[in-house]
Amino acid sequence: MTTRNPILNPGVRHHQEGDFTAAQVQLANRNSGIHLEMLQHDITPLGMHYLLTHFDVPYVKDTADWQLEIEGDVAAATSFDLKALMELPRVSEQVTLECAGNGRALITPRWVSQPWSYEAVGNAEWGGCRLSDLLAQVDINATAIELVFSGADQGIDGGVVHFFERSLSVQQALEHDAILAWEMNGLPLLPQHGFPLRLIVPGWYGMASVKWLRRITVIDHSFQGYQQVKTYRYRQDADDPGVPITGMRVKSLLMPPGIPDWLTRRRLLDVGVHEVSGRAWSGHGVAIDKVELGLNGNWSLAEVDPPTGKYSWQAWRGACDIGPGQHELSCRATDVNGQVQPLAPVWDQSGMGNNAVHRIEVWAE
Ligand SMILES: Nc1nc2c(c(=O)[nH]1)N[C@H]1C(S)=C(S)[C@@H](COP(=O)(O)O)O[C@H]1N2
Ligand SMILES: [Mo]
């Protein structure tokens, strides 16, 4: 008698309403979010940046025999150790990274996956070299179409066993200021952020920034890997082939004022004028034009700082005169291309790209 392996035959993924299951709590415990009070920092302190790790964190004990392999549609396969990478021109750049699934748990019904609310974002200073400088040392064949970036982490999703892999077109790899990073905020990458080497694709949602990078394969066709075609697409329903997700949508978050209630995180504050501040960002290096601060649905213009880097979020602040009782605070950003955050989530089958305005309840007395 044979039984069907439930891991390789998981059945159809579904939506859910109401309480979170133990499996979702387990996911949330592994994949932590930024604490919103960290929005006071330009650069998210190490250990406070959000984390999204699909499988197990691979453990590289010793970097002495570690190599980044480059193979496929190239004149000759080659590899680089960390020392060789470190001889390329250095870059160090602030990049805001957000998970494409951020906000998923705020869409009803909820897609069963990592249940983010607002917190899957951070801004770090990534140090390393440009991917384009490395590729300049590789003789890529004229037939090349895409580059596949392979992580060292293997697991199962949708019944499919695979390594975490994503591709970029040759043009995207050369033109998007991508970084091969071995440092975060001036220190070697923490194990959970991709030690010893990761890709950073500035301006894109986080899935493109492959951690624990160990191989780049040049291919003469379009990549059909699980993380490329089965997920990270905007879809209306399960049958929709969808469109690939690339750049981040315009978004802003506010730092909750006052003090939190331990169990509910509802905020308590004094009646009076409060300065409310936060961060705003958009995708593909597009700057923020304005941020509006909402008090019970009445919007006023906030002051926005200039960007500290092309791909870095921008600080904003405004004043709110808060009377006694319960109120809703919110914020809404518009980028220089005129893209504005929606007031309510825009439907997506797997809860991707939810950039609806951030809302929090406060009680003043
Ligand atoms: N190898 C590998 N790279 C990965 C992932 C992963 O699970 N494995 N997760 C991706 C996703 S979905 C996101 S949002 C970012 C998160 O990066 P962080 O954990 O450093 O914040 O890494 C991306 N790179
Ligand atoms: Mo993500």
Q: Give per-residue pLDDT as tens, 135-168.
A: 999 999 999 999 999 999 999 999 999 999 999 9
Please list, in sequence order, all residues whose beta carbon lies within 8 angstroms of the beta carbon of residue 4, skipping any fewer than 6 positions away.
Answer: none
Give pLDDT, residue 2.
72
Q: Which of 102, 157, 207, 350 to mutate to test the pocket of ligand 1 (most atoms within 8 A of CB)?
A: 207
pTM: 0.97
The amino acid sitting at 327 is H
Q: What is the average per-residue pLDDT within 170-192?
A: 96
> Relative to the CA of 165, which ligand 1 atom is closest?
1
Q: Which of 79, 74, 69 is nearest to 140 (CA)?
A: 74
Residue 61: how many other CB atoms lie within 10 Å: 7
With a cut of 80, say whether residue 218 has pLDDT above it.
yes
For a substitution probing ligand 1, which of 60, 211, 354 has the most ligand atoms within 8 Å of its CB? 211
Q: Specify the DSSP element, H or E, that contains 127.
A: strand 121-130
Q: How far is the CA of 98 from the centre of ligand 2 (A)?
A: 7
Q: How confident is the model at residue 1 (pLDDT cuts 50, 70, 90)?
A: low
Which numbered atom of ligand 1 lies nearest the CA of 151? Answer: 1
54 lines ligand 1 (CB under 6 A): yes
CA 352 – ligand 2 centroid, Å: 9
Q: Calculate how far, in angstroms, residue 75's C-alpha sits from the geometric centre of ligand 2.
A: 34
pLDDT digits (tens, 9 = 90+) for 312-322: 999 999 999 99
**pLDDT level of residue 181 (50, 70, 90 thresholds):** very high
Per the listing, tokens 């699909």 go with: 54
**Does residue 99's CB lie within 6 angstroms of at least one atom of ligand 1?**
yes
Is any atom of ligand 1 closer than 6 Å to the C-beta of 50?
Answer: yes
pLDDT, tens only, 9-40: 998 888 999 999 999 999 999 999 999 999 99
Residue nearest to atom 18 of ligand 1 (CA): 51
Share of the chain above pLDDT 90, in %: 97
Tokens, residue 4: 């069907």
pLDDT digits (tens, 9 = 90+) for 283-331: 999 999 999 999 999 999 999 999 999 999 999 999 999 999 999 999 9
Backbone Cα Rg of the chain: 21
**What distance in Å separates the CA atoms of residue 216 and residue 99, rounded to the nearest whole number?**
22
Cα–Cα distance, 228 to 231 (Å, whole number): 6
Q: Which ligand number lies closest to the CA of residue 200?
A: 1
CA of 3 to the centre of ligand 1 (A): 34
86-107 per-position pLDDT tens digit:
999 999 999 999 999 999 999 9
Q: What is the pLDDT of residues 332-349, one digit of tens each?
A: 999 999 999 999 999 999
Q: How far apart are CA 316 and CA 318, in angstroms?
A: 7
- Chain position carrying tokens 């919007």: 299
Q: How many residues does the chain have?
A: 365
